[in-house]
Chain A
Amino acid sequence: MPSNKRFLAPGFLNRLDQWLLIHKPETWSARTHLVLYYGGGFLLILGLLAFIFPDDPRTDSGVFNWVLFTSVITLIALVVWLIYLLRFNVFKRFGITKPLNRLKAFILYFISIGIILLISFIESGVECIKANRAFGDEEMVNDMNKMNMIITQLEYDSLNHVWGRDTFRIVDTIPAVAYTPPPPSLPPGYEEFTVDTAAVVILDSEEESQGIRLMDTATFNKSIRSGDSTQKLDDSTFIFFTCPTYIFVNNYRLEQFSSAKLYESADVYKAVVKDFKVPDKLKLNTEIEHLIAKYSDPNYRYYTSERRDYTYVMEKKYQIDKVESGLRNISVRKNFWRGSNIEIIVRVFFYITISLSLLVFIFRHSTVKTFFLTLLTACVICLLTALFIALSNSRATGLLFSMIFYFVCFLGISLMAWQTRIRSVAVGIGINLFVAMLTFMPMIIVGFAYAVYDESRDYNQVTEDNRHIWMFIAEIAGPVILLMAIPTIIHKLYRRWYALPEN
């Protein structure tokens, strides 16, 4: 029977602990099984608490407060794990260790730290699930469209229904009145480029004081496609009509994940204004009150405006601010773990986890003195580099080149482990910094290549490059290279250096 009696540990965990101790000492010493059990259990409890905890999705998200609270717990959990982790070390005890064991150890550190860090992400996940369960994407878009249509119907008599209009003509040469000399810093060709792609608004512009406004071809084409209404007078003359505003409640974030279309003013016009019929106001009032109650942020405080115009009165009447605040809060919660937010969250999680894992890995394979001197060296190098960049007025190329230069130096110093006959602190620092930088080197190299390209190219040259693809490949390549290097060169470097005699 296992003799260890851990706090709240079931029998199987004690048996697993003992089994790992006598069969897989490397795995046992990482304590990942305990982190999985206790950390996973805590995540479950925290998640359940967050679910049970009454929280209105229409109100401001409490994620910030939760993250503050859970960060403290995460920090404590990390410290406790480190205390247990540092008790046993196969490598420093000169035990039988294979190259792949180093890789296994790193992966175990990554998993353990990852689980602990997840504590800080749990609340946002729960809020996201709760908000998505309470409000569907299509439901919200449809409700918002409905609100705008109802308000338009109810306030029909008070609204301005006059359409705006602008007349445009495509020209090859910009009229003198519209000609503005390009800034002297711009390269030759700018003017011609502008002329060739320009459209000009003429005659009846209501917005431009000079009655003329330039529009480039791309914007012009887009206006034709997306304008409320366009009338073609001849091959080069168009009238763009702008629908009056029938959108009172708006939240563009909602459309991103919804299959339902978020109405614009023109859509509302077509739906209820074009063939306007006198509505059943009592029924509409009931409906709008229901929708306002459904989406109003109960904690929203009105901003007391000095305005007393019609728009203000209407906003107050239909509690537009309150509803928009509620919609904004709901959409923020719903989108925590969706779309581009996921990329950000995954990157934050991944880079914090891998950085901490690298620190732990380095500490586990280095002497205490060398580890802290490594941190000091890194700080000093950062300061000196910042000073150099500032004094030399270098751009990104200077910074990135200096990082590549440092990396090559650290690699060179690391390789001296095979030459030296004593365990030198300098070589240890070199190895540590080489290991720390390795993951990020592909990104630094790609960044440097594009920085050089950007500095050398013509700024006005429109280019389609694949830098985001290359950067993504570099992001993947870095950890892959690290994982390949750990059982090969890194294992050999640390094994050679750590066992050397001291002077």
Chain B
Amino acid sequence: MCLDSGNDELLREAIALSRLYRTYQPEQAELPELKLQAEALLQKLEHFTPALHLNKMLLVAEDISKTYSGSRFSLQKLNLRISTGDILGVVGENGNGKTTLLRCLAGQLALDSGALHYPQLSKADHYAIKHHIAFIPQRIPRWYGQLKDNLHFSAAIAGILGDKNRLMVDFMLERLNLTPYAELTWTQISSGYRTRFEIARILLQRPSLLILDEPLANLDINAQQTILTDLRYMAKSIYQPMGVILSSQQLHEVEKIADTVLFIKNGSCLFRTDDSVKQDSCVVEVETTISRDELFQAFAATEVSVSFNGGFYTIESTSLTVPELLSRLVNNNIPVSYFRDITHSTKRFF
């Protein structure tokens, strides 16, 4: 909210409040004061009306394809559009073209066919395009020197200079809860924090489109949630919204925040969640201790198909709804330790 205000004073107040909260210790009983300050800040923000920047088209990919010389792999023709505020998730098994797609969109790989358009950039050369698109690879290149210096540098080369530079770096450190680590070096922080620092660095460069390749790979479950929440918040920011494209193996986590999810297999987009085509079958994932035959007996022979993927049973039915499937399991006293509706999830294709 404070960033959305674009008001430096409010940012400073937010930073101060965040620092106070971080140093808060329950035994000191200072929470009421902290709460008062937070409420005062929220009141100020209520009077602020930010400009709307949502839904500006950032990137249009038309029939893009890519084939590597000397390799059988080929990314088939694909179309997509990204606007400010959009989050696009790209999922798929390893080696099926996720990274290739992301690198094509980031302008790192030359296309065999098709075209990329950047409607927000007029007469842009490749340098300007790469300035506006930030790409975070799965293996983040090592940083050198103090982490905070890197953040100051990234902000400065994006044109954020002087006191504004200090303010934005402090704000970003607080926002991603990185302040305690700011004066450390790359080797002194965990891989999860490295990802967060990289995101902080990229955000300070104020890209209009953020592309992340497997950002959750090195993160624990809490960090994953934090990063995903942050990404969603930043994408939908009113003051400085951006488009976000991310690839991940964490299907459910990605699906929770993404507006659209692409499922890539063998270089082709098999499915996208915003397809208006209605699914003609229900699919659920079930974890149980009983055998497949016992599970199968709970249903009529023609009602479902059951497959076992090593950890879960996947039950697909064209005649039963999800609640009906669940009630059958309950009525037949089948012990269920995990149940998930994946009808609209890309998980059903794995």
User: Footprint of B on A, CB under 8 Å?
Assistant: 3-4, 21-25, 28-29, 87-88, 90, 93-97, 421-422, 495-496, 498-503
- Which residues in B have their C-beta under 8 angstroms from that of A500? 110, 126
Convert B101-136 into 0s and 1s, putting 1 for each residue whose CB lies closer than 8 angstroms to a CB of A.
000100111110000000000000111011100000
Asked if A498 and B109 make an inter-chain contact with CB atoms under 8 angstroms apart, the answer reads: no
- Which residues in A have their C-beta under 8 angstroms from that of B161? 22-23
A90 to B158, CA, bound (A): 9
- Interface residue? B277 (CB, 8 A): no
- Which residues in A have their C-beta under 8 angstroms from that of B159? 96
A25 to B104, CA, bound (A): 29
A140 to B125, CA, bound (A): 69
| Interchain residue pairs with CB less than 8 A apart (24) | A3-B146, A4-B149, A21-B153, A22-B152, A22-B161, A23-B162, A23-B165, A28-B153, A28-B156, A29-B153, A87-B144, A88-B150, A93-B157, A94-B127, A94-B130, A95-B205, A422-B110, A498-B127, A499-B125, A499-B129, A500-B126, A501-B126, A503-B69, A503-B110
Asked if B165 and A22 make an inter-chain contact with CB atoms under 8 angstroms apart, the answer reads: yes
- Which residues in A have their C-beta under 8 angstroms from that of B108? 501-502
A88 to B141, CA, bound (A): 12
Smallest CB gap from A492: residue in B: B125
Known: A3-B183, A22-B156, A23-B156. A96 touches B131 (CB 8 A): yes
Smallest CB gap from A23: residue in B: B161
Instruction: Quote the shortest CB–CB distance from B172 to chain A (angstroms).
Output: 14
Asked if A502 and B183 make an inter-chain contact with CB atoms under 8 angstroms apart, the answer reads: no
Q: Which of A87, A94, A95, A501 contacts B109 (CB 8 A)?
A: A501
Most buried by B among A28, A96, A421: A96
Most buried by B among A87, A94, A495: A94
- Interface residue? B5 (CB, 8 A): no
Asked if A95 and B125 make an inter-chain contact with CB atoms under 8 angstroms apart, the answer reads: no
Instruction: Quote the shortest CB–CB distance from A426 to chain B (angstroms).
Output: 15
Q: Could you tell me the dominant secondary structure of chain A's interface residues?
A: loop
A23 to B164, CA, bound (A): 10
- Interface residue? B196 (CB, 8 A): no
Asked if A21 and B156 make an inter-chain contact with CB atoms under 8 angstroms apart, the answer reads: yes
- Interface residue? B148 (CB, 8 A): yes
- 7 smallest beta-carbon distances between A and B, as pairs: A95-B157, A499-B126, A25-B156, A499-B127, A87-B144, A22-B165, A501-B110
Known: A4-B149, A421-B110, A501-B107. A25 touches B157 (CB 8 A): yes
Asked if A496 and B126 make an inter-chain contact with CB atoms under 8 angstroms apart, the answer reads: yes
A496 to B124, CA, bound (A): 11
Q: Which of B69, B107, B149, B158 contacts A96 (CB 8 A)?
A: B158
Smallest CB gap from A26: residue in B: B157
- Which residues in B have their C-beta under 8 angstroms from that of A87? 144-145
- Interface residue? B166 (CB, 8 A): yes
A21 to B148, CA, bound (A): 11
A422 to B126, CA, bound (A): 11
Known: A94-B131, A421-B110, A502-B109. A25 touches B149 (CB 8 A): no
- Which residues in B have their C-beta under 8 angstroms from that of A23? 156, 161-162, 165
A498 to B130, CA, bound (A): 11
Instruction: Quote the shortest CB–CB distance from B157 to chain A (angstroms).
Output: 3
Asked if B153 and A25 make an inter-chain contact with CB atoms under 8 angstroms apart, the answer reads: yes
Instruction: Quote the shortest CB–CB distance from A19 to chain B (angstroms).
Output: 9
- Interface residue? B195 (CB, 8 A): no
Smallest CB gap from B116: residue in A: A501
- Interface residue? B248 (CB, 8 A): no
- Which residues in A have their C-beta under 8 angstroms from that of B104? 501
Instruction: Quote the shortest CB–CB distance from A260 to chain B (angstroms).
Output: 60
Asked if A95 and B152 make an inter-chain contact with CB atoms under 8 angstroms apart, the answer reads: no
Instruction: Quote the shortest CB–CB distance from A393 to chain B (angstroms).
Output: 44
Smallest CB gap from A422: residue in B: B110
A393 to B102, CA, bound (A): 56
- Interface residue? B154 (CB, 8 A): yes
A202 to B296, CA, bound (A): 135
Convert B179-219 into 0s and 1s, putting 1 for each residue whose CB lies closer than 8 angstroms to a CB of A.
00001000000000000000000000100000000000000
- Which residues in B have their C-beta under 8 angstroms from that of A422? 110
Asked if A90 and B109 make an inter-chain contact with CB atoms under 8 angstroms apart, the answer reads: no
Instruction: Quote the shortest CB–CB distance from B100 to chain A (angstroms).
Output: 12
Smallest CB gap from A96: residue in B: B159
Asked if B109 and A499 make an inter-chain contact with CB atoms under 8 angstroms apart, the answer reads: no
Instruction: Quote the shortest CB–CB distance from A144 to chain B (angstroms).
Output: 60
Asked if B69 and A88 make an inter-chain contact with CB atoms under 8 angstroms apart, the answer reads: no
Asked if A495 and B146 make an inter-chain contact with CB atoms under 8 angstroms apart, the answer reads: no
Query: Which residues between 282 and 303 of chain B lie within 8 Å of chain A, taking CB atoms?
Result: none
Asked if A502 and B127 make an inter-chain contact with CB atoms under 8 angstroms apart, the answer reads: no
Known: A87-B145, A495-B125. A96 touches B110 (CB 8 A): no
In addition to A22-B162, A503-B110, 6 A-B residue pairs with Cβ atoms within 8 Å of each other are A22-B152, A22-B155, A87-B145, A96-B157, A499-B130, A502-B110
Asked if A4 and B146 make an inter-chain contact with CB atoms under 8 angstroms apart, the answer reads: yes
A496 to B153, CA, bound (A): 23
Query: Which residues between 85 and 112 of chain B lie within 8 Å of chain A, taking CB atoms?
Result: 104, 107-111
Most buried by B among A22, A95, A421, A422: A22
Smallest CB gap from A503: residue in B: B110
Known: A3-B146, A22-B162. A496 touches B125 (CB 8 A): yes
Q: Which of B127, B153, B158, B162 contacts A88 (CB 8 A)?
A: B153
Asked if A3 and B126 make an inter-chain contact with CB atoms under 8 angstroms apart, the answer reads: no
Instruction: Quote the shortest CB–CB distance from A343 to chain B (angstroms).
Output: 41
Smallest CB gap from A21: residue in B: B152
Instruction: Quote the shortest CB–CB distance from A93 to chain B (angstroms).
Output: 6
- Which residues in A have their C-beta under 8 angstroms from that of B150? 88
Smallest CB gap from B127: residue in A: A499
Instruction: Quote the shortest CB–CB distance from B194 to chain A (angstroms).
Output: 16
Smallest CB gap from B163: residue in A: A22
- Which residues in A have their C-beta under 8 angstroms from that of B126? 496, 499-501
Instruction: Quote the shortest CB–CB distance from B281 to chain A (angstroms).
Output: 41
Known: A495-B127, A499-B129. A93 touches B154 (CB 8 A): yes
- Which residues in A have their C-beta under 8 angstroms from that of B157? 25, 90, 93, 95-97
Instruction: Quote the shortest CB–CB distance from B346 to chain A (angstroms).
Output: 28
Instruction: Quote the shortest CB–CB distance from B286 to chain A (angstroms).
Output: 45
- Which residues in B have their C-beta under 8 angstroms from that of A21? 149, 152-153, 156
Smallest CB gap from A86: residue in B: B144
Query: Which residues between 4 and 30 of chain B lie within 8 Å of chain A, taking CB atoms?
Result: none
A345 to B130, CA, bound (A): 45
Smallest CB gap from A19: residue in B: B162
- Which residues in A have their C-beta under 8 angstroms from that of B107? 499, 501
Instruction: Quote the shortest CB–CB distance from A124 to chain B (angstroms).
Output: 36
A226 to B154, CA, bound (A): 74
- Which residues in A have their C-beta under 8 angstroms from that of B153? 21, 25, 28-29, 88
- Which residues in B have their C-beta under 8 angstroms from that of A97? 157
Most buried by B among A3, A24, A498, A499: A499
- Which residues in B have their C-beta under 8 angstroms from that of A28? 153, 156
- Which residues in A have their C-beta under 8 angstroms from that of B125? 495-496, 499
Smallest CB gap from A494: residue in B: B127
A87 to B183, CA, bound (A): 17
Instruction: Quote the shortest CB–CB distance from B69 to chain A (angstroms).
Output: 7
Instruction: Quote the shortest CB–CB distance from A100 to chain B (angstroms).
Output: 15
